[in-house]
């Protein structure tokens, strides 16, 4: 029962109260880079959830034997380890996706959410809690990215998951080329953060 | 023990050794597969620019594709100046010339199919690129690539001309990509430099 409660607590924190994108405002670099096609975003998010959950758990597992002064080195090493595993698996079993994502898989190592969560949570919590924290922060990141990616792909390419949509891929719709370029991500992200924070803010007022 | 000065050094060393060992093991275990994937992407590109060897609508497995490549295509030799060839009764019927060069963001790797007259282009395949999605990345789309079919390689300085989008075309020019000037310019350079070099070596 205790574990179920912990998981629930971390779920609410990671997905809503303390969402990494619109609350902590972390990991925005990857948000700009890989949200132009929904399928790329799905794979990237899966890779991030995997890395974040397992590296948080590993860091937490080693937290009592890791000397404090070299902890960042150890954390980076552990994160890099999981990211390289994802990279190798994609290269071997899904080369097309590996080519699409290019260097961005490797850049998960520098995604501030991962180091941020290991520092903020994994260093001071037991492995199970740290695992859920990483997992739900990953999900919190993922659904925001999927919203951004859905709008960008539909408006910029007229497709969803690569399938042409009735109106948006016809000649009547002028594709917003801007949307598939990095600036498109800036605008979309800003709108999404704005909407979500407004909702969050009004909820907070109600509870007060 | 954790208070000792040498402890962090030993700790870091051990933990690095542990995680590296796993990564090295995994790399070793998948290296053959990764290599095979890359070879396959290249072989598919070669086959796709040669006439009458492979129908792109037909779904072939990796192994089938590889055996088709081995059966139909001859590796480059002295006479073909770096191009892969298809022969019939000992005569070369088509060339597939792999070319590469710097694109706007990263390296672009392509294959050009050329007929036995060494003048007519049979097709173009882009098998590695990392250009801007929706703009430069259009070089890998059929709308752009299919323009090259049947074009005639012209005389130097410009063997294949990239004309402005919408401009009238002749037998040696294709339309560049709207909004992707840099990618177009660089691809034009890769194709022209590559073809020039190849023609010189073929003489």
Best of B134, B136, B138, B183 to disrupt the A interface (most A CBs within 10 Å) is B134
Domain residue limits, chain A: 2-207
Yes or no, beta carbons of A92 and B15 under 8 Å apart: no
* pLDDT of res. A1: 41
Which residues of chain B are within 8 Å of residue A102 when distances are taken between CB atoms?
106, 130
CA distance A132 to chain B (A): 23
Low-confidence ranges of chain B (pLDDT < 50): none
Cα angle, residue A61 at apex, residues A55 and A66 outer, rounded to 5°:
95
Quickly list DSSP for B76-90. Answer: P-GGGTT-EEEEETT
Give the distance from residue A11's alpha carbon to the nearest chain B alpha carbon, in angstroms.
Answer: 29
Q: Which of A75, A54, A27, A52 is nearest to A137 (CA)?
A: A52
Radius of gyration (C-alpha) of chain A in whole angstroms: 18
> Tens digit of pLDDT per residue, chain A (208 long)?
456 777 888 888 888 888 888 888 887 877 777 787 888 889 889 999 999 999 999 999 999 998 888 999 999 999 999 999 999 999 888 887 887 777 778 778 888 889 989 998 899 899 999 999 999 999 999 999 999 999 998 888 888 887 888 877 777 777 787 888 778 888 999 999 999 999 888 887 777 6
Across the interface, whether the CB atoms of B34 and A89 are under 8 A apart is answered no
- Tell me the C-alpha distance between A78 and B78, whole Å: 50
Tell me the count of A-B CB pairs closer than 8 A: 63
Cβ neighbours of residue B9 closer than 8 Å, sequence gap 6 or more: none
Name the pairing type of β-strands B107-115 and B91-102.
Answer: antiparallel
- Which of B1, B6, B10, B15 has the highest number of chain A CBs within 10 A, making it the mutation to test binding with A? B15
Cα A71 from Cα A66, distance rounded (Å): 6
Q: Is A68 on the interface with B (CB under 8 A)?
A: no
pTM value? 0.75
Dihedral angle computed from the Cα positions of residues B64, B70, B74 and B75, in that order, rounded to the nearest 10 degrees:
110
A73, A84, A91 ranked by CB distance to B12: nearest: A73
Contact A65 B12 (CB under 8 A): no
Q: Does A42 touch chain B (CB under 8 A)?
A: no
Residues of A in contact with B134 (CB under 8 A): 36, 156-157, 175, 177, 180-181
pLDDT number for residue A25: 81
Q: Rounded to an integer, what distance in angstroms lies between the CA atom of residue A60 and that of residue A118? A: 8
Q: Does A73 touch chain B (CB under 8 A)?
A: yes
Residue of A65, A85, A177 lying closest to B26 (CB–CB): A85
Of the residues B35, B103, B133, the best mutation for testing chain A's interface (the one with the most A CB atoms within 10 Å of its CB) is: B133
Q: In degrees rounded to 5, what are phi and psi of residue B161?
A: -100, 135
Inter-residue contact B125 to B45 (CB < 8 Å): yes
Give the dihedral sign, CA A100/B50/B173/B158.
positive
Query: pLDDT value at position B56?
Result: 67
**Radius of gyration (Cα) for chain B, nearest Å?**
22
Neighbouring residues of A149: CB distance < 8 A, sequence distance ≥ 6 = A34, A35, A36, A37, A38, A40, A41
Q: Which residue in the set A78, A81, A157 is minimally distant from B134, CB to CB?
A: A157
**Inter-chain residue contact A156 with B7, CB threshold 8 Å:** no
Q: Residue A3's pLDDT is what?
A: 65
Contact state of A84 with B12 under an 8 Å Cβ cutoff: no
Q: Which long-range contacts (CB under 8 A, 24 or more apart) does A59-64 make?
A: A59/A118, A59/A122, A59/A123, A59/A130, A60/A121, A60/A122, A60/A123, A60/A125, A60/A126, A60/A127, A60/A129, A60/A130, A60/A131, A61/A127, A62/B15, A63/A122, A63/A123, A63/A124
Give CA–CA dist B106/A164, Å, rounded: 28
Q: What pLDDT, on a 0 to 100 scale, did the predictor assign at position A20?
A: 83
Which residues does chain B have within 8 Å of residue A73's beta carbon, measured at their own beta carbons? 12
């Amino acid at each position: 029962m205790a574990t179920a409660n912990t998981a629930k607590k971390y779920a609410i924190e990671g997905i809503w109260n303390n969402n990494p994108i619109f609350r902590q405002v972390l990991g925005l670099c990857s948000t700009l880079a890989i949200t132009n096609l929904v399928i790329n975003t799905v794979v990237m998010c899966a890779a991030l959830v995997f890395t974040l959950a397992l590296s948080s758990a590993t860091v937490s597992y080693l937290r009592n034997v890791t000397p404090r002064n070299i902890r960042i080195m150890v954390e980076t090493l552990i994160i890099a380890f999981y990211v390289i595993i994802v990279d190798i698996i994609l290269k071997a079993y899904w080369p097309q996706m590996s080519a699409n994502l290019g260097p961005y898989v490797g850049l998960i190592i520098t995604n501030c959410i991962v180091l941020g969560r290991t520092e903020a949570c994994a260093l001071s919590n037991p492995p199970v809690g740290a695992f859920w924290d990483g997992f739900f922060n990953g999900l919190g990141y993922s659904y925001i990215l999927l919203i951004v990616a859905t709008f960008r792909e539909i408006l910029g390419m007229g497709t969803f998951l690569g399938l042409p949509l009735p109106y948006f891929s016809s000649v009547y719709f002028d594709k917003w080329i801007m949307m598939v370029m990095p600036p498109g991500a800036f605008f979309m992200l800003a709108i999404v953060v704005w909407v979500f924070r407004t909702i969050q803010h009004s909820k907070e007022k109600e509870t007060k | 023990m954790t208070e000792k000065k040498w402890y962090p050094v030993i700790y870091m060393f051990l933990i690095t050794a542990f995680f590296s060992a796993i990564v090295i093991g995994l790399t070793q275990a998948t290296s053959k597969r990764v290599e095979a994937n890359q070879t396959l992407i290249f072989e598919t590109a070669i086959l796709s620019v040669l006439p009458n060897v492979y129908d792109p609508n037909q779904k072939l497995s990796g192994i089938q594709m590889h055996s088709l490549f081995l059966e139909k295509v001859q590796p480059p030799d002295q006479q073909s100046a770096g191009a892969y060839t298809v022969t019939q009764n000992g005569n070369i019927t088509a060339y597939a010339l792999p070319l590469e060069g710097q694109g706007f963001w990263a390296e672009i790797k392509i294959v050009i199919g050329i007929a036995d007259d060494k003048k007519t282009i049979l097709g173009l395949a882009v098998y590695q690129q990392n250009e801007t999605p929706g703009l430069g990345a259009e070089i890998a789309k059929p709308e752009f690539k299919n323009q090259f079919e049947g074009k005639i390689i012209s005389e130097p300085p410009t063997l294949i001309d990239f004309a402005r989008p919408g401009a009238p075309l002749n037998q040696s020019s294709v339309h560049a990509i709207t909004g992707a000037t840099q990618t177009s310019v660089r691809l034009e350079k890769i194709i022209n430099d590559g073809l020039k070099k190849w023609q010189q070596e073929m003489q």
